[in-house]
Amino acid sequence: MVSKVKSLAGLVLGILSIPGAIIPLFGFPLSIIGIIFSAKGMKQSEGYGLAIAGLTCSIIGLLLTTANSIWGAYLGSMGKNPVINRLSSYYGNGG
């Protein structure tokens, strides 16, 4: 049971990294730590399947987080961020 802990931790972090991709501040650490734990869990004979699933989920979470970060940077640079536009129209441009 003790040898499955890293694999299980990698799986849990990988699963959490997928919805965590919505906020890149949470998505990046969850997915990177999930990849690390899953890679360490793959070196053990027990829990190899859990480690593979965790690595897969972590990589998907990392890709989604990266895509969301790029999309947010693009929207911010083009002035098309809906949250900032709504706040600026509510509070006014000059202050």
Between residues 74 and 67, which one has the greater pLDDT? Answer: 67
Question: CA-based Rg of the chain, rounded to a whole angstrom?
Answer: 18
Q: Which two tokens mark 53?
A: 């699933």
d(CA 73, CA 12): 28
User: Quick one: pLDDT at residue 27?
Assistant: 93
pLDDT band at 52 (very low <50, low <70, confident <90, very high): very high
Q: Which amino acid is at 90?
A: Y
Q: What pLDDT band is residue 93 in, cutting at 50, 70 and 90?
A: low
pLDDT the model gives residue 85: 76
pLDDT at residue 94 in the model: 52
Is 1 a residue whose pLDDT tops 70? no
